[in-house]
Structure 1
Amino acid sequence: MNHACRYLLASLILSMSLAQVHADNADNSLITPFSEMTSLEDGWEPLEFPNIDRHSRYQLVDDNGEQVVEATTDDSASGLIARVSVEPGDSLILRWRWKVSNVFEQGDARRKDGDDYPARIYVAFEFEPEEAGFFERARRKAVEVVFGEELPGNALNYIWANQLPVGEMVANPFTDTTMMVAVNSGADTTGSWVTVERDIVADYKEAFGRKPPKLAGVAIMSDSDNTGESATAWYGDVQLIRP
């Protein structure tokens, strides 16, 4: 067998192996991969917020032969959420890849008027009433009566930041029950696919000082309602996997 044939055979074997790994990861994921969806309602649903009328736009698109979600935000905010009920155990891996067109010039995770991101992954956990004070429990009950839905508890937000350095974790400027984790920052890798992997159990312990309760949902969100800016993001498969 000549060198060209050996190289072709090796390439084919490697391609088949990578495809199998991708398929295995997709099969093992606890949420529906975007690459396998037939519509945006296939395992995911819109995530919208009170008093925000202008929503970001999400659609399935092809990117080099793989189906991904394209999100467009223009002075808008909304997301897509996969609702789950999962015990995290000792370790639970969240893995995804994403790409953004740009970061927001006015974006700053430490300020309310800068709390916008071209791309973020929002991980919500069930509410723990035993960890909350009386007024927090009363506030949540009032909201549930008005909106007819139980609110989640603490949350982790993995963000493509502008000002916040990679690896830094800060409380959301609107609420300390949500912690912002910068997994990418700045414009150096805009326009390129970036893969991220996090152990959400370890991150929750660092953020809140205790083991996490059940997961309530995993969402993608591209928002720009505070800065008034615009961006496009692409989300590849978001995988929730037990190691």
Structure 2
Amino acid sequence: MGTTPRYALWLLLTVAGLASPNLLAQEQALPAFSKMTSLADGWEPLEFPNIEQHSRYELVSESGSQVVKAQTSGGASGLITRLNINPEGSLILSWRWKVSNVFDKGNAREKSGDDYPARIYVAFEFQPSKAGFFERAKRKTVEMLFGEELPGNALNYIWANTLPEGEFITNPYTDKTVMVAVSSGSERAGEWVSIERDIIADYREAFGENPPPIRGIAIMSDSDNTGEQATAWYGDITLTFAKNLAKPD
């Protein structure tokens, strides 16, 4: 497993089991941080082998609203929620977040700088019909070893260091994950920033095709590569689903 990207396999294995029979309504919020009595209310810890130092997540009151506070100091871990959504038309992911600082050593183009004070990870179902022989064989081996079906591509919405806002780049560890800089730099550190992204449009730009079903969403603040420190706050994350309506004759 020496060639496995940094804890990416464990993240994929964890998200792979996150399937729910519930279908997405016209508008649906993920388990709302603002209404939780515990982080276990719809979200689960995401921890990685060989990384003993974890980021800390807790519910706190911030400006009159309950949010998740994340603190990372040379470690990595996240929170994930279960989804099984077949995206059609337009699927808008909305959230707000705040960070104390960006990482001086952060660099989305390099493995050594692949850390972010805040990120949201969207994992999609694997499509074997579009994979080559060696990709299918590799995944089959993993499934036999771990008893899990691996999902496929992923989008990472990140608060970057110097990567310009709006830029898409392939993750330095795996071409199955594309990083999207939705916030960047320290100019707005310390204030809440609201984000809206069309997941379907972003997937098309990142991978050149329509997306398969979404299997899970995670939040993560990590600093195990850079060894730096940061605090982030995550507000409620909402999905708004709208089909394309036919125009009247």
TM-score by length of 2: 0.84
1:165 partnered with 2:164: yes
C-alpha distance in 2, partners of 1:216/1:90? 18
| 1:107-150 deviation per Cα after TM superposition (whole angstroms, max 9, x unaligned) | 01000000000000100001111111122122222223333332
Does residue 1:154 correspond to 2:153, yes or no?
yes
Task: Report the Cα distance in structure 2 between the residues aligned to 1:54 and 1:89, rounded to whole angstroms.
Answer: 39
Give 2:179's aligned residue. 180
Separation in structure 2 between the aligned mates of residue 30 and residue 62 of structure 1, nearest angstrom: 20
Shift of 1:28: 3.3
Number of residue-to-residue matches in the alignment? 217
Per-residue CA deviation, residues 165-198 of structure 1 (Å, 9 max, x unaligned), is: 1010000000010000000100000000000000
Q: Which amino acid in 2 is paired with 1:89?
A: E
In structure 2, the partner of 1:87 is: 86
User: Aligned partners of 1:81 and 1:237: how far apart in 2?
Assistant: 13
Give the CA deviation at 1:30. Answer: 4.3
Aligned partner of 1:145 in structure 2 is 144
Q: Which segments of 5 or more consecutive residues in structure 1 lack a partner in the other structure?
A: 1-26
- Specify the alignment match of 1:38 in structure 2: 37
Partner of 1:133: 132
2:111 is the alignment partner of 1:115: no
* Counterpart secondary structure, 2:209: coil
Q: 1:92 is paired with a residue of what secondary structure? A: strand
Q: Kindly tell me: are residues 48 and 151 of structure 1, through their superposed partners in 2, closer, same or farther at Cα, counting changes over 3 Å?
A: farther
* CA RMSD across the alignment: 1.3
Alpha-carbon distance between aligned partners in 1 of 2:30 and 2:157, rounded to the nearest angstrom: 17
Shift of 1:99: 0.2
- Fraction of identical pairs, as percent: 67
2-structure distance, mates of 1:44, 1:212: 24
Contact persistence 2:124–2:211 (CA under 8 A) = yes
Structure 1 partner of 2:28: 29
| Equivalent residue letter for 2:34 | S
Cα shift at 1:37: 1.3
The answer on whether the counterparts of 2:29 and 2:237 sit within 8 Å (CA) in structure 1 is no
2 CA distance for matches of 1:180 and 1:233? 18
Deviation at 1:62, TM superposition (A): 0.5
2:240 corresponding residue in structure 1: 241
**Partner amino acid, structure 1, of 2:117:** P
Deviation by residue 1:142-161 (Cα, 9 ceiling, x = unmatched): 22333333222100000000
Distance in 2 between residues matched to 1:100 and 1:148, nearest whole Å: 37
**2:57 aligned residue:** 58
- Matched residues in 1 for 2:181 and 2:159: separation? 6
Q: Is the 8 A contact 2:112 2:226 kept in 1?
A: yes
Match of 1:230 in 2: 229
User: Can you give the 5+ residue segments of structure 2 that lack an aligned partner in the other structure?
Assistant: 1-25, 243-249
* Mapped pair 1:207 → 2:199: no
Secondary structure of residue in 2 paired with 1:61 = strand
Match of 1:157, as an amino acid? N
Partner of 1:192: 191
| Aligned-partner residue type, residue 95 of structure 2 | W
